[in-house]
Chain A
Amino acid sequence: MKRHLTVAALAATTLASLALPAQAQDSVYVPLLTYRTGPFAGSGVHIANGMRDYLEMLNQRDGGIGGAKITIEECETGYDTKKGVECYESMKGKNPVVVNPYSTGITLQLIPKAAVDKIPVLSMAYGLSASADGGNFPWVFNPPATYWDGASVFVKHVAAVEGGLEKLKGKTLGLMHLDAPFGKEPIPVLEALAKKYGFTLKLYPVPAAQMQNQGSQWLAIRRDRVDWIYNQGWGAMNPTAVKEAVKAGFPIDKLVGVWWAGGDDDARAGEAAAKGYKTLNFHNTGNSFPVMQDILKHVFDKNLSQAKREQVGENLYNRGVYNSMLIAEAVRTAQKITGKKAVTGEDVRRGFEALNITDARLKEMGMEGFANSVKLACNDHNGHNKVFVSQWDGSKYVKASDWMDPMKEIVRPLIEQEAKDYVAKDAGWPKRTAPCEKGA
């Protein structure tokens, strides 16, 4: 026991020294929770590289955001909730301006903490769909679209291919999902849409331990004569799904993944037969955009990246870049609102609510054609922005549809209802106190 105390004391001193960061003048601290290890590392590595490289590029090219240098710090979560929360606890004393949990499990943990610690949570197109309701979740942001928006766009895409929403009647749509909160997110919206448009919805849960062993699910898909599959998968589940679809003889262009099921490696696993695999997306692939060229020039040429040069432009790398762009823009907006350089978490929360990335701004950033405009509002922390379907052409994803609006009229009431339920379940849930920005 005495020994344990010395260990504890030792740990206490190291941790105490850790809690006092050397805050340079005019810097913003952006912690990145990433996972380069564990069963989901295959997707996590690319996102982590993209996020880091964009911020690094801003530091190298512009000296940070609006004159404030970005202090980037990665913390390894291994996609494990416990480790993720540990990371959060270790960094929350250093005044982070925003936290990116990068896992649904960690996001769910941080949502209640955000309001208490006054650190905004950016769960970019993941996390809890209901947190798009800014009235009840003032500290959580999940732009540009929720899983529910994604599911509705999937249905829209099916309708577009089949020739109209009325053609959905009698069709069977399958949802193949990871058997965890992340995977189950789209179920309510798909159920509502099934009722409305008269298609049959079938669910194919894949337990996390069985991600690489999906034989039975694909047999069942064959038995049920499913017309379209929406894949809400992650990590090793996706390449296996593509492979199994090819094996089962399922028409690959009727397998549509959520945006997270769009790793280049996921499709590559299916080799030539995976050509035609579709995934939703909210940013483009490729490295021809000026912003990507800047990353190559300012980060790769100086050997500051952990990624390989050819990975720039891959879907998940670009996803990371997009994520960091949102952070940077929110910080910039916060700087504009408050007029100070070293903004705090509270300022950035306001920055997110006033976030308005216009086409002109995108062009300025060298992202014309890379992404679509994003606008958030006081009670709308998501924006329900447009997404599109991209398709694997054998070596990369290409844009295969126009930008499509989600069915906001169906998604939004569900979100408000769900947010109300969430808050009702917790008596101590803090009421929103922050006023809305003028003009937002």
Chain B
Amino acid sequence: MFYREAGQFKKTYAADMAVFPILQDRIGIAVILIVAAVVIPLTGSTFFISSVMIPFLVFSLAAMGLNIVTGYTGLISLGTGAFMGVGAFACYKLTTIFPNVNIIIWILASGIFSAAIGAAFGLPSLRIKGFYLAVATLAAQFFLEWCFVRVPWLYNYSASGAIQVPQRTLFDVAITGANATPTTRYLVLLGIVVLMTWVASNILHGRIGRTFMAVRDMDIAAELMGIRLLPAKLMAFALSSFYCGVAGAVMMFLWYGGGEAADAFNIRQSFNILFMVIIGGLGSLIGCFLGAALLNIVPIILKFGFPAIGIAIGSETAEHLNHLLVGGLIIFFLIVEPHGLARLWQITKQKLRTWPFPY
């Protein structure tokens, strides 16, 4: 009834091709942004901001990275965790070598390093695909994980091999380190995520995104149409790793705040992000957010939510249930809706459009 486009006329091609062609969508996105940027920082508890919202945004960004290569280009990658790690270590090295440059610049720049490494490990994708490529990216995962531990230069030769996130400021407000409040870190992170999402949306709706999708749907056919596969696939890997790298950097700097970095980027992290993409929806930006939200919130509700409303479940039971639920959800979504939550959201929108008189 309210979600209707009647009366909204598109007079130009550009208007028709807009990312949000319907007014209500534009209002919706504005409301979401206001809630995220104003309401949540003002009303959310510290726990909500630091343990729900910050991880959610970090994982959304990482899922976006993986979705570019897996969802849009159809190349499975199991090395997401490692590419995130490259970003985190690059950012750490950069900010310790050049402490005077603003940390946000380094967070974004660290993506370049992981893009380069991602492209290098994407080289085999020209000859192989499917499961074979998955194994190739596993090589990247394990090799890089090993480097994070074995190359002391990366963690500045600290005795324990852990990295320390130093305090860095923006306009004299601490945004990293222990003195940065969760709200500040959240707002910086939100800014980065919104910017990166906007860029990704533009890239993926444009020529480059279409190239990726052509390669995904059938690479030989794409080649016949004049798409050069090597640059396209490498571009996908580089772009994907760029996003993952930035996600890793923000994860270390704005969320974790240092510590056992190599461990944070292990293979389980890669799987976790893959699950987010599958559940959220392959080849959908909104799916990244939905998947990250679901996989992030389910365990927290199981662990903290149930006890809070009086249902006592043991902490280990919650952990086991979490495994069961995540696994079950993956199978459920693949069977019922292989395009994930994003597709469900689309269906809902479609239904809303014709409600209450569906045809």
Contact = CB atoms under 8 A, between A and B. Distances in A.
Contacts of B52: 8, 11-12, 15
Interface string A153-182: 000000000000000000000000001111
A430 interface: yes
Nearest to A183: B161
Contact of A81 (B264, B299, B308): B264
A53 B308 CA distance: 24
Contacts of B263: 81, 105, 180, 208
B320 A37 contact: yes
A425 interface: yes
Contacts of A12: 43-45, 48, 52
A76 B319 contact: yes
B345 interface: yes
Given A11-B301, A181-B162, A188-B159, A19 B256 contact: no
B166 A85 contact: no
Interface in B279-331: 286, 289-290, 293-294, 297, 299-301, 303-305, 307-309, 315-316, 318-320
A109 B294 CA distance: 25
A37 B319 contact: yes
Contacts of A15: 45, 47-48, 52, 300, 304-305, 308
A247 interface: no
B195 interface: no
B167 A1 contact: no
Contacts of A246: none
A36 B316 contact: yes
Contact of B305 (A14, A34, A37): A14
Contact of A4 (B264, B293, B318): B293
Nearest to B152: A184
Contacts of A93: 45-47
B170 to A, nearest CB: 13
Interface stretch (B124-132, B173-181, B207-215): B173-181
A269 interface: no
Given A76-B319, A116-B178, A109 B167 contact: no
Interface of A: prevailing SS: helix
Nearest to B309: A14
Given A36-B315, A76-B319, A208-B263, A1 B32 contact: yes
Contacts of A182: 160
A36 B314 CA distance: 10
B301 to A, nearest CB: 6
Interface residues of B, number: 67
Interface string A396-414: 0000000000000000000
Given A14-B309, A81-B259, A428-B178, A89 B159 contact: no
Contacts of B37: none
B47 A90 contact: yes
Interface in A54-81: 74-76, 78, 81
Contacts of A113: 178, 257
A170 to B, nearest CB: 27
Contacts of A430: 178-179
B26 to A, nearest CB: 12
B151 interface: no
A115 B179 CA distance: 9
A260 to B, nearest CB: 15
A81 B293 contact: no
Contacts of B303: 75-76, 86
Contacts of A433: none
Given A7-B293, A11-B48, A76-B303, A207 B149 contact: yes
A75 B300 CA distance: 12
Given A181-B161, A427-B166, A4 B45 contact: no
A418 B48 contact: no
B162 A108 contact: yes
B28 interface: yes
Nearest to A117: B178
Given A1-B29, A108-B160, A90 B51 contact: yes
Given A19-B45, A112-B257, A1 B308 contact: no
B70 to A, nearest CB: 21
B46 A89 contact: yes
A82 interface: yes
A208 B300 CA distance: 26
Given A36-B315, A428-B177, A85 B46 contact: no
Contact of B159 (A37, A78, A85, A185): A185
Contacts of A38: 319
A196 interface: no
B228 to A, nearest CB: 36
B340 interface: no
Contacts of B50: 89
Interface in B45-89: 45-48, 50-53, 55
B232 interface: no
A427 B318 contact: no
Given A1-B289, A82-B264, A428-B167, A76 B316 contact: yes
A11 B300 contact: yes
Contacts of A5: 32, 35
Interface in A313-334: none
B174 A7 contact: no
A184 B159 contact: yes
B111 interface: no
Interface string A78-109: 10011101100110110000000000110011
Contact of A11 (B28, B286, B297): B297
Contacts of B146: 207
Contacts of A1: 28-29, 32, 286, 289, 345
A187 interface: yes
Contacts of A112: 164-165, 177-178, 257-258
A3 interface: yes
B110 to A, nearest CB: 18
Given A76-B316, A184-B159, A428-B174, A82 B166 contact: no
A71 B51 CA distance: 23
A249 B146 CA distance: 29
A311 B62 CA distance: 44
A425 B28 contact: no
A367 interface: no
Which of B166, B286, B304 is packed against the most chain A CB atoms within 10 Å? B304
A270 to B, nearest CB: 28
A78 B319 contact: yes
13 contacts: A4-B293, A8-B53, A75-B303, A78-B319, A89-B47, A93-B46, A105-B260, A112-B165, A116-B179, A181-B260, A187-B159, A427-B99, A428-B177
Interface of A: 1-5, 7-8, 11-12, 14-19, 34, 36-38, 74-76, 78, 81-83, 85-86, 89-90, 92-93, 104-105, 108-109, 112-113, 115-116, 128-130, 179-182, 184-185, 187-188, 205, 207-209, 418, 421-422, 425-430
Closest 4 A-B residue pairs measured CB to CB?
Answer: A428-B167, A76-B315, A112-B178, A18-B308
Given A112-B177, A181-B162, 10 more contacts: A3-B348, A15-B300, A16-B48, A76-B303, A82-B55, A109-B257, A113-B257, A128-B160, A185-B160, A209-B142
